[in-house]
Structure 1
Amino acid sequence: MRMELTYHRKGDYLFPNLTIEEPKVAIGKYGMLRRTFLKENRKGWYQSMMLSGKLDRHLMEIEQAATERMETLMKGLLEKYPAPDKEKDQMAWAAHMNGLTAMAEESILKELVYS
């Protein structure tokens, strides 16, 4: 496979036209947390992925996996720890759901984002 480069001139110098053709994607909470983790703790890997154009795809995969895992964990936790009746005690229901969400999110962060 042969790669042909094009150049543009600035003054007396020729610079290669290097661009990464990746559409911009919206990255959610877990993708942004993963990016921050990689940037601060895995600098070489972060720069390599960014320069090769694979970073956004990786972050999107993490985001999708985390979202799917969150749904699965919440279903399992709700089966194991049923929520109180929302109509009778809204505050207890909200507190219960927040606790389950925190439990599920802790697992996701440990397994997917900060590994």
Structure 2
Amino acid sequence: MPFIQRIVEPIYLSRQSLHKEESASVVTEYELEAVTNNTLSNALRQLASLVVIANDIFDDLAKQLQDVSERATKLRTRIDLIEEKVSAFDPKTVTVRKYNQLSV
């Protein structure tokens, strides 16, 4: 089961009550417009949260790609050194030991 790394907030866009605890209305007129404005502002907050999360994801991705690039550069350097050694190697200059083979 995957664990949650990032949370988009607000989760519920239109769950704010327009009444106080004593059942007195906070908005006396234009309740529908108040609900619409509240929902729209929460949707904008949610989109802003999503943008921040996307930016975080792309920053992580850029860091990982930079690490891969550095590793590839180090590996290319090692390969170049080995290639130089292999091209400079002359097998005719290497002495080969002779083994006495016993016949079975």
Shorter-chain TM-score range:
0.3 to 0.5
User: TM-score w.r.t. structure 2 length?
Assistant: 0.35
Which one has the largest radius of gyration?
2
Structure 1 or 2: more strand by fraction? 1
Counting helix residues as a fraction of each chain, which structure ranks higher? 1
| TM-score relative to the length of structure 1 | 0.32
